[in-house]
Structure 1
Amino acid sequence: MTMVSEAVIAALREALGDRAVLSGADIPDRNRQDWSTLSAVLPLAVVRPNDPAGVAAAMRIAAAHGVPVVPQGGLTGLAGGARPIDGAIALSLERLTGIEEIDRDSSTMTVRAGTTLETIQKAAEDAGLYCALDLGARGSCAIGGNVSTNAGGNRVLRYGMAREMVLGLEVVLPDGTLVTSLNKMLKNNAGYDLKQLFIGSEGTLGIITRIVLRLFPRPQCTMAALCGLPSYDAVLALLASARGSLGPLLSAFEVMWPDYWDVATRKVAGVRDPLTSAHPFYVLVEAQGNKDSDIEGFESWLESQVEAEVISDAAVAQSLADVKAFWGTRDAAADFKLILGPHNSYDIGLAVADMDRYAESCRARLARDIPGCVSFFYGHIADGNMHIIACVPDAVPQPYDAIDAIVYDEVRRFHGTVSAEHGIGLKKKPYLPFSRTPEELALMKVIKQALDPNALLNPGKVL
């Protein structure tokens, strides 16, 4: 350990206490990597402040010693954004948890950045309100990470990305300045909307410490159906009809290709196929309403789509337990590692009309160019987001770089984005120019230089 390393650790312990600073063999394995396929790295230290002032103090100390800092939340990211780098401090928000306020009149919740999404969802429900952000890692992911990556999830179609649910932020800048802007107002045009700099910036411009979330009225009824469809044209027809007939009630439209469906319903424990036969496409449609007539309208719409032969077969949820079971077919992706072993997960964006052509082309290239490679396609689709799982079963090591190159080259060919909701981190950094122009990248670098001239905050990530 160098003199600088010893000095910065000593200063951190003096400012925050011994319990808040871990080094050497005391650093937990969980802080050495995130959920990406990148290898683990031992950081210089793990710092765990329990309040925003502590985060600011830690950042000031690190800046004074010229030591880089990598923010960490729930560590559920798949792009390597929270993975430590050699010689850096991992600043974990695991102790910065708790719900500070629920304001029913403003329909807002003020939370600390390390709070899990599931905790926030339950607190909103207990208050008679609704947190619309939802994703499969809800029990592990931290809201600060959700906001710093502009998470999307299951109900973007109705409520938008995380960005649309954030009214105010508190952030620590790379020099340790604490900027508090815990706005609760939907309308606030007093100068630049500074929070937008930090939402989706993956901890490269500031460390989010507190958030004001916009809450919504709690739906009184949730309708869902799992449908088998004969073609991708039928998928597009069903989506258009759902948008027109269900309107603002439509909350999710999830599409699963047969390769994904077969693994999810036949091999993942606890997941079952509610349909009676196999189909070329499977669609989970969800709508949220407030009265019995909404349920009747949903069922009438489904019947019309069956009569029009858009839907070949359908199972309709009769209870919230059924709704949860239907969503289990989508959440099953988290358990594919138990069946396939190590694999890579991809999160891309495409024009909705191109998605099946992309899947066909990508699947064929992977199988042709990488012997033994299997791939599985599914996703939110209606919001332009497709997910892919790919690997060579039992291969050691996995040919991740070769798979990446094909998946992202196909994205470029179809004029899509290499990241719809998971961020860039380290893993997608080489492919960011596939989705951004040189002028856009140059502007991003100007912003980074302005806020973090010494490149101390999450260096090497994104840009």
Structure 2
Amino acid sequence: MSSNVEAINALRSVLAADELLVGDAISDKYRQDWSGEKSGDLSAVVLPRSTEAVSQILRICNEHGCPVVPQGGLTGLAGGATPIDGCVAISMERMNGILELDGISGTMTVWAGTPLQVMQEAAEKAGFFFALDLGARGSCQIGGNISTNAGGNRVIRYGMARDLVLGLEVVLADGTVLSMLNKMVKNNSGPDIKQAFIGAEGTLGVITKAVVKLHPQVNGANTALMALESFEGVEKLLVYAQQQLSGQVSAFEVMWNDYYKEATTDGGIRAPLPADYPIYVLMDQQSANPQQQAAQFEAVLEHALEEGWVVDAAVAQSHADAEAFWELRDAIAELLQAYAPTINFDISFPISSIGRCVETLKEVMSSQFDGIRAMFFGHVGDGNIHVVVGPFPDEATGLAIETAFYEVVRNNEGSVSAEHGIGLHKKPWLPYSRSAAELHTLKLMKQALDPRNILNPGKIQD
């Protein structure tokens, strides 16, 4: 701890009084992210306003071997921003704002602490669309989104955070600043170094700025909620809709009956369709002029009904209708509170395997954990399934459920984390998705870029 005291004294010499918080000045908000993972004892919180300040902070901490935990909006669900004992938390909240919006290149350059919703609104005002979107949009920050390679609601059409990032500025553990603020889609001047920091959860460097790709503005969406008898119908609907709508399907959310029933009872959401169908799909087609494409959208639904893939459907007739459909999908926040403690699985499989894998997971629950509630839903159009299990009686049961679920993931070549990251929570299960050779390579990268292991130590892997 003495080295940490020395590090804090050195930080005090280069930071303003309001940029270094210690003791009682540290707010509880810096002690935990949304994952609920147990926090260690913070030594200090630093609130830099510039890349130069981040560089000085990391150089000092590296010299003294003081661990640093980068923090964004603290909305993560895997414990990636959870403090560890003796660490300095580096909050990016003051490195906030849009540096440039290039309307010709279709790019936006921002500080890492800029909230996602601020970027979305700035893009819209300028006649563009920033496609990354998730429920925490008002609180999460783009640096954290990139550090966890966030996914969200629109991945099926626009990709993960990785697909929207053109350039980054990153500070390494020793204070070296890597300026990679590329604005070009085409740039094959050697390996793309920035990719190493996307999804690394702050373990290889601290992101300070980003250049992101903007898309043409959308002015609304055609939206429908559909009921189906089987996952085979879901697969056929997805393929057909993508073909007929020329890849413009911008959301393809699936809710199994267990989730739909809970959302329309305890979740308090009005049921647009009866709650006795096996499976439901919420589909969006975003465009500049939804009215022009309404007939094409409805023709897809009519064909699906004729083929028997879809057995009932409701089409949004207004923006309010569409929002009501999405409230049904977003009811998970209330359900999590109602059924705590819960295990919140964020897993993925090849789309063609999802139906079979979900049935296997349901069989696991009924045969091994009868009486414990499980709700299945997810983005599905990108292979992502969320499962909420709970409440469960004790930690031993919770561990048994996780083990059983992740064995299904491993046996079907899926991912233990589709979009939430690894952090602390998924670390024990990472070998279920990554080979020993991959994990060894990650260790080599860590040793090369952070030999003193000060950057978010203990996250992702030891």
Whether contact under 8 Å (1:136, 1:334) holds in the other structure is no
1:124-139 residue pairs with structure 2 within 5 A? 124-139=123-138
Name which of structure 1's ranges 379-388 and 12-21 shifts more when overlaid on structure 2: 12-21
Q: Which residue of 2 aligns with 1:260?
A: 259
Aligned to 1:68: 67
How do 1:106-185 residues align onto structure 2 when only pairs under 5 Å count?
A: 106-185=105-184
- CA–CA separation in structure 2 for the residues paired with 1:265 and 1:118: 28
Match of 2:3 in 1: 4
Equivalent residue number for residue 38 of structure 2: 39
Rounded Cα–Cα distance in structure 1 between residues aligned with 2:78 and 2:246: 34
* SS of equivalent residue, structure 1 residue 457: coil
Q: More deviation in 234-243 or 21-30?
A: 21-30
TM-score computed with the length of structure 1 as normaliser: 0.95
Q: Report the secondary structure of 1:461's partner residue.
A: coil
Superposed, which structure 2 residues align to 1:29-428 within 5 Å? 29-269=28-268, 271-291=269-289, 292-370=291-369, 372-392=371-391, 395=393, 399-428=397-426
User: What amino acid is the match of 1:414?
Assistant: N
TM-score, normalised to structure 2, is: 0.96
What RMSD over aligned residues (CA atoms) do the two structures have, in Å?
Answer: 1.6
**Could you tell me which amino acid in structure 2 is paired with residue 327 of structure 1?**
W
Comparing 313-322 with 69-78, greater Cα deviation is found at: 313-322
CA distance in 2, matches of 1:94, 1:290: 33
Please state whether the residue corresponding to 1:58 is helix, strand or coil. helix
Cα offset, 1:358, TM superposition = 1.9
**How many corresponding residue pairs?**
460
Cα pair distance change 1:205/1:109, threshold 3 Å: same
- Tell me if the contact between 1:36 and 1:77 (Cα under 8 Å) persists in the aligned partners: yes
Q: Is contact 2:40–2:86 with CA below 8 Å preserved after alignment?
A: no
In 1, distance between residues paired with 2:130 and 2:142? 12
Distance in structure 2 (CA, Å) of the matches to 1:98 and 1:159: 23
Please show how residues 14-33 of structure 1 align to structure 2 within 5 Å: 14-33=13-32
Secondary structure of the residue that 2:210 maps to in structure 1?
A: strand
Alpha-carbon displacement from aligned partner over 1:390-413 (angstroms, at most 9, x marks no partner): 1225x4668432332122111112
- The offset of 1:14, in angstroms, is 2.0
Q: Does structure 1 retain, via aligned residues, the 8 Å contact 2:273–2:312?
A: yes
Q: CA deviation at 1:62?
A: 0.5
The answer (yes or no) to whether the contact 2:147–2:198 under 8 Å persists in 1 is: yes
Indicate if the aligned counterparts of 1:223 and 1:286 stay in contact, CA closer than 8 A. yes
Task: Note if contact 1:257-1:281 (Cα within 8 Å) is conserved in structure 2.
Answer: yes
Q: Shift in Å at residue 266 of structure 1? A: 1.9
Whether contact under 8 Å (1:34, 1:82) holds in the other structure is: yes
User: More deviation in 281-290 or 324-333?
Assistant: 324-333
**Residue 446 of structure 2 aligns to a residue in which SS?**
helix
| SS across alignment from 1:266 | coil
The 10-residue stretch of structure 1 (441-450 or 335-344) with the greater mean CA deviation from structure 2: 335-344
- CA shift for structure 1 position 356: 2.6
- 1:446 & 1:129 partners in 2: Cα distance? 40
Identity, % of aligned positions:
49
Amino acid at match of 1:402: A
| CA distance in structure 1 between the aligned counterparts of 2:25 and 2:402, rounded to whole angstroms | 35
Q: Aligned partners of 1:120 and 1:398: how far apart in 2?
A: 43
- Compute the displacement of 1:355 (Å): 1.7
Pick which of 102-111 and 363-372 moved more.
363-372
- Deviation of 1:367 (Å): 4.4
Cα deviation for residue 91 of structure 1 reads 0.9
Distance (whole Å) between structure 2 residues aligned to residue 399 and residue 207 of structure 1: 37
What residue number does 1:449 align with? Answer: 447
CA contact (8 A) 1:48 1:94 kept: yes
Conserved in 1, the CA contact under 8 Å of 2:375 and 2:388?
yes
- Partners of 1:392 and 1:399 within 8 A in 2: no
Gaps of 5+ in 1: none
Matched position secondary structure for 2:408: helix
Cα distance in 2, alignment partners of residues 236 and 141 from structure 1: 32
- In 2: Cα distance, 1:127 partner to 1:315 partner: 33
Q: The residue matched to 2:280 in structure 1 has which SS?
A: strand
Tell whether 2:389 aligns with 1:430: no
Gaps of 5+ in 2: none
Partners of 2:223 and 2:44 in 1: how far apart?
47
Residue 153 of structure 1, CA deviation:
0.9
Distance (Å, rounded) in 2 between the aligned partners of 1:62 and 1:68: 7
Structure 2 CA distance for aligned equivalents of residues 280 and 228 of structure 1: 8
Task: Find the aligned partners of 2:275 and 2:84 in 1 and give their Cα distance.
Answer: 50
